[in-house]
Structures are given as structure tokens and as C-alpha cells.
Amino acid sequence: MDLIKKNIGYFDNSDNTLKVSRIIKKYVLWIILSGTFLLSGAACNLVKQNRTMKIFHLQPNRITVNTEAENNGDWFEQEREDFFALQNFEVNSEAHKAEVDSFVINYIRKDNFLNTNQQVSWSLVFFKYGDGITENTPHEFDTDYSMHELFAFKKRLVYYYFTGNNGYENTGYYLNGGETIKEEKRDALRIFMN
């Protein structure tokens, strides 16, 4: 019986001091570990939330009018470029690709640029967020060389290309800093444009 009392933390008769029992030690350790586990889980959840993909429109859009297009039937009368920034985009994630597809469909649905003329082209170009490109970066053009560096080819992630004649042409994914472009015809856009 004395052995049991000693192990569960009763008073030790030899020096009348209270010893913390093994059960209480285990319980306190369990609380500390559980709290640490819960806090680390919450921290991981915050990291996941911060890793969600976001799309930012960089305005203004660029529309170039080709006055000589009437003399040359192969030229577009108007060419439009809209720039966007993609934050946390993974090129190998089909879910991210589908999310951008959905964004593009909703974006072009709200605009009648492709319906204005048969001789128009429209490019939606998505750049990597960061390295000078944020949600507040203006889409500037015909300026100094620093703008070409800011919107450098190697920072491109995805483009979508449309024409007035054919509608949806294709989508391109820039791999290895733009060294390789993988072109695809995305089903969602093909279906939407038909």
C-alpha cells in the first residue's frame, strides 16, 4: 500500500513535502503537447489560407488601333492586351488552371470587345505576383525601359488569346521562366465560346 501511495503522490512521511504525482505530470505534459499541437495546426491553417490563389487586374487595358489594317486583310484593326497578376499560382495545379479559366470566362462575358469587329485580337496576360508587380501596379506601356523589365517575358505565367474571327484561339503556360511555352486548348473556354 505504501508503494501505491508513494507513486500517486501522497505526502511523503519522511519530510512532509508534497510531491507532484506522475499522473499530474503526465496530465500537464498532455495539456502542453495538445496546446502546442492545436496551435501548430492553427498556424498551418493560416499558412494554407495565405497560399490561396488570387488574381489582380492591372489597369488600364491597352488597345492598339492599326490604321493600316484596312489595306492589309491579314492585320487586326484593333489589338487589346489586358494584364493581370497571379498570386500563389501553381502551373501544375489543375484546380488553379480551372480557377483562372473561370475567371477569364467571367471577365470576357462582361465585355463585348470581341463582338465589335471581326478583325480584333485580345490577349489576357497573367504575370507572377511579386518582384515589383502587386495589385496596385499600373499596366503602363510605351514608357521607359523599366516597364519592359517590370513586365518581362520571364515573369509571365499564363496567356489567353482570342480573335474576333475565331473566338478562343489558345492558352499558353510559361514554364522555366518563359523558356518553354506549353499551349493548350482549355475545354471550359472552348465550350463557352461555342
- For residue 19, what pLDDT is reported? 52
Give the residue from 3, 194, 175 showing the smallest Cα distance to 91. 175
Give the residue from 103, 98, 58 showing the smallest Cα distance to 82. 58
- For residue 141, what pLDDT is reported? 65
Higher pLDDT, 74 or 45: 74
Burial of residue 38, with CB atoms counted within 10 A of its CB: 0-12 exposed, 13-18 middle, 19 or more buried: exposed
- For residue 133, what pLDDT is reported? 92
β-sheet bridge partners, residue 87: 54
Q: Which CATH class is domain 54-193?
A: alpha beta
Q: Where are the domains of the chain?
A: 2-50, 54-193
Distance CA 139, CA 86 (A): 14
Q: Give the Cα-Cα-Cα angle 60, 162, 70 (nearest 5 degrees).
A: 85
Q: How confident is the model at residue 192 (pLDDT cuts 50, 70, 90)?
A: very high
Q: What is the pLDDT of residues 99-119, one digit of tens each?
A: 999 999 999 999 999 988 888
Q: Which three cell numbers stand for residue 44?
A: 498551418
- Mean pLDDT of the region 6-30: 53
Q: Which three cell numbers stand for residue 172?
A: 499558353
Give the residue from 86, 78, 96 showing the smallest Cα distance to 186. 96
pTM value is 0.71
